[in-house]
Amino acid sequence: MKRLTHLLSALSLIILSLNTHAQTGFTLQNQNLDNPDNEPAPVHPVPYEQQIQWQELEFYAFFHYGMNTYTGKEWGFGDEAETIFAPTEAPDPAQWLKVAKAAGMRGGIAVVKHHDGFCLWSTATTTHNVTRSGNIHGQNTNIPRDFARAARKLDMKYGFYISPWDRNSPLYGTPEYVSQVFLRQCAELAAYGTDQFEMWFDGANGGDGYYGGANETRSIDRETYYDIPNLRDSVHKVCPQCILWGMGGEARWIGNEAGWAGETNWSNENRGFAPERNGMYGTEDGWFWLPGESDAKITNKGWFYHEGESALPVERLFQMYLETVGRNATLLLNIPPDKTGKIPEYTADTLKQLGKLLKERFRHDLALKAGITATGTRASGANRDYLPSNLNDGDKDTYWATYDEQTSAVITLVWDKPQTVRYVALMEYIRKGQRIRKFHIEYSPDGSTWLPAAPGVECTTVGYKRIIPLNGSTAQSYGEGYSAKAIRITIDDSKACPLIHTISVY
Ligand code: FUL
């Protein structure tokens, strides 16, 4: 369609030029028919479509459930009898996802095999699976099947965590484990739905374990052992939208499990393990588009359910959101089901409150009713413009841009009456690469005097999304706010002309 439009506009220019020629005897010079839309050139690396859709989920859940739920361990050794897995009620992934949805999450990832090797579906690759579990609830369980079904019903995205390290398998450490167990398990999971958004491959790989009774330590070469290029191609053939996280090389671990990303956070990074991995911050000149995902726990005792656990305070979770989603990362928040196979009340309540806070604090985008101007705005193309009004039109596909050589600019938002403001959110048009390196924000109580906002905040990168608390504090960002008649955002430095698709003010 786009090509057709380009062709039509090129044709009309030719006809126009022929007419002009006939009328004046001159041929029009310097028509840049190669780029009729005056499109800014991309700055590489750029994301592919799946990575953009993945990032647009922003906030989704992790569900650690399995053998450890019943042993109280975080890492099972792999020698646990299958009968220990005995849910006291039928596990209910639909309930898990409803709880996540109430918090404003758009999807979830279920652990279906942890390091202990116990599979939560009836796999053909090992007998160490739910069909041999301790009661009827366990035997009838099939988490990938039920999780995928529930997600589709709730209009949420879903994916699976499958641990490459398998402390139960006698084959672990040999090539047969990869070809006959691990890759087959991934294929079985891919078959639960072609619409999966992420497969999660943990970085803990190798060490001591049961290994079919060998009770020894086994190590592998993480770079080569799992045949990643083959895995990536095979999964993509079946699940074209699926991002392979971690060693899959399509999204990166943010580098801590505490729910924060660097204020400076590039989606550019180099693939592979240390030393070039720079999880929390990315690498400005990295070769790959490898955006950060931050995994964090909602409870205080571990990834799995533990007796006596409690959920973190809701304001702490809000802070996590600002420090991840608000810093160009996604937030994968872990919610552990308990022995009933359901999310306990205290966690569900906390998530409901979090959902309420997020709605209240980010519902009314004041930018939508602001007048907006900018310096250095790029000239329009044949079908596209780059006007500042694209910044507050609620459309992620239109964007504001400057001229190629112009890497700084000032954007001003003005209201008829002063507004109470607390946050500014910026979103780059990342389809053409991440660009902004430095910016600053000011506010004006009266429309003529300007005061600096966001004291102490490192206003460096933006990326997919950056949310700036104007009082400078992610821990206590929701104070009284500031009364502002206008807000000014200055882009001080950018790798190439900045492209921003949305500015929001709350
Ligand atoms: C880690 C694992 O070892 C933990 O048990 C947990 O699954 C966490 C999300 O990733 O590396």
Each residue's pLDDT tens digit, 139-181: 999 999 999 999 999 999 999 999 999 999 999 999 999 999 9
Q: Provide mean pLDDT across the span 489-493.
A: 98
Which is higher by pLDDT, 16 or 420?
420
**Structure token digits, residue 410:** 């000032």
Return the CATH number at 377: 2.60.120.260
With tokens 């990834």, the residue in question is 303
Domain ranges, residue 482: 366-505
Nearest to 320 by CA among 102, 475, 106, 104: 475
Q: Whose CA is nearest to atom 4 of ligand 1?
A: 303
Closest ligand 1 atom, CA of 161? 7
Cα–Cα separations (whole angstroms), residue 189 to 136, 152, 378, 454: 23, 16, 47, 46
404 pLDDT band (50/70/90 cuts)? very high
Are 387 and 346 part of one and the same domain? no
Are 355 and 416 part of one and the same domain? no
Distance 217 CA to ligand 1 centre (A): 19
Distance 300 CA to ligand 1 centre (A): 15
Distance 75 CA to ligand 1 centre (A): 8
Are 380 and 307 part of one and the same domain? no
Helix (H, G, I), strand (E, B) or coil at 343: coil
Q: Given 321, 340, 361, which residue is the final one in a domain?
A: 361
Are 446 and 346 part of one and the same domain? no
**Buried b / exposed e along 457-489 (16+ C-beta atoms within 10 A):** bebbbbbbbbbbbbbebbeebbeeebebbbbbb
With 0-12 CB in 10 A as exposed, 13-18 as middle and 19+ as buried, what is 24? exposed
Distance 72 CA to ligand 1 centre (A): 15
The pLDDT score that the predictor gives to residue 277 is 64
Query: Phi-psi bin for 126: left (phi > 0), alpha (psi -120 to 50), beta?
Result: beta
pLDDT in tens, 216-228: 999 999 889 999 9
Are 264 and 132 part of one and the same domain? yes
Distance 303 CA to ligand 1 centre (A): 7
Q: Provide mean pLDDT across the span 306-328.
A: 98
Pocket probe for ligand 1: among 303, 306, 331, the residue whose CB has the most ligand atoms within 8 Å is 303
Handedness of CA 245, 273, 266, 432 (dihedral sign): negative
Are 219 and 357 part of one and the same domain? yes
- Helix segments in 154-306, DSSP class H: 175-176, 183-190, 228-238
Strand partners of residue 412: 373, 488
Asked whether residue 480 carries a pLDDT value surpassing 50, the answer given is: yes
Closest ligand 1 atom, CA of 74? 5
Asked whether residue 1 carries a pLDDT value surpassing 80, the answer given is: no
With 0-12 CB in 10 A as exposed, 13-18 as middle and 19+ as buried, what is 221? exposed
Closest ligand 1 atom, CA of 114? 7
Helix (H, G, I), strand (E, B) or coil at 13: helix
Q: Given 361, 383, 405, which residue is the final one in a domain?
A: 361
Kindly report the number of other CB atoms within 10 A of residue 421's CB atom: 20
Asked whether residue 100 carries a pLDDT value surpassing 80, the answer given is: yes
Closest ligand 1 atom, CA of 295? 9
Domain count, the chain: 2
Who's near 505: CB < 8 A, 6+ residues apart? 365, 366, 367, 370, 413, 419, 421, 423, 424, 425, 487
200 pLDDT band (50/70/90 cuts)? very high
**Structure token digits, residue 127:** 């007998």
Residue 16 lies in a domain: no
Residue 34 lies in a domain: no
Are 260 and 297 part of one and the same domain? yes
Q: Provide mean pLDDT across the span 57-70.
A: 98
Q: Whose CA is nearest to atom 10 of ligand 1?
A: 202
Residue 18 lies in a domain: no
The pLDDT score that the predictor gives to residue 99 is 98
Distance 140 CA to ligand 1 centre (A): 26
CA 489 and chain centroid, separation: 25
pLDDT in tens, 419-439: 999 999 999 999 999 999 999
Nearest 5°: the CA angle 146, 150, 154 is: 175
Kindly report the number of other CB atoms within 10 A of residue 395's CB atom: 11
Closest ligand 1 atom, CA of 203? 11
Residue 33 lies in a domain: no
pLDDT in tens, 243-294: 999 888 899 999 999 999 999 999 999 876 555 568 999 999 999 999 999 9
Who's near 475: CB < 8 A, 6+ residues apart? 319
pTM for the model: 0.92
Are 266 and 296 part of one and the same domain? yes
Query: Phi-psi bin for 23: left (phi > 0), alpha (psi -120 to 50), beta?
Result: alpha
**Buried b / exposed e along 40-54 (16+ C-beta atoms within 10 A):** beebebbbeebbbeb
Distance 161 CA to ligand 1 centre (A): 10
Q: Whose CA is nearest to atom 3 of ligand 1?
A: 204
Asked whether residue 7 carries a pLDDT value surpassing 60, the answer given is: no
Distance 230 CA to ligand 1 centre (A): 24
Residue 15 lies in a domain: no
Q: Provide mean pLDDT across the span 441-461.
A: 98
CB 501 within 8 A of CB 399: yes
Pocket of ligand 1 (CB under 6 A): 74-75, 202-204, 295, 303
Distance CA 484, CA 367 (A): 12
Q: Provide mean pLDDT across the span 291-299.
A: 97
Q: Provide mean pLDDT across the span 19-39.
A: 60
Distance 247 CA to ligand 1 centre (A): 14
Q: Render 101-145 in DSSP notation, one character per residue.
A: HHTT--EEEEEEE-TT--BSS--SS-S-BGGGSSSHHHHT--HHH
Are 372 and 357 part of one and the same domain? no
Pocket probe for ligand 1: among 120, 202, 332, the residue whose CB has the most ligand atoms within 8 Å is 202
pLDDT in tens, 350-368: 999 999 999 999 999 999 9
Are 193 and 333 part of one and the same domain? yes
The pLDDT score that the predictor gives to residue 203 is 82
CB 459 within 8 A of CB 441: yes
Return the CATH number at 265: 3.20.20.80
Closest ligand 1 atom, CA of 163? 7
Are 281 and 426 part of one and the same domain? no
What percent of the chain has a predicted confidence (pLDDT) above 70?
Answer: 92
pLDDT in tens, 495-506: 999 999 999 999
Residue 42 lies in a domain: no
What is the enclosing helix (H) or strand (E) of 491?
strand 482-494
The pLDDT score that the predictor gives to residue 267 is 97
The pLDDT score that the predictor gives to residue 273 is 57
Average pLDDT, whole number, for the chain? 93
What percent of the chain has a predicted confidence (pLDDT) above 90?
Answer: 89
Q: Given 311, 331, 361, which residue is the final one in a domain?
A: 361
Distance CA 76, CA 469 (A): 41
Residue 1 lies in a domain: no
Distance 17 CA to ligand 1 centre (A): 64
Are 149 and 181 part of one and the same domain? yes
Q: Provide mean pLDDT across the span 300-304.
A: 98
Residue 474 lies in a domain: yes
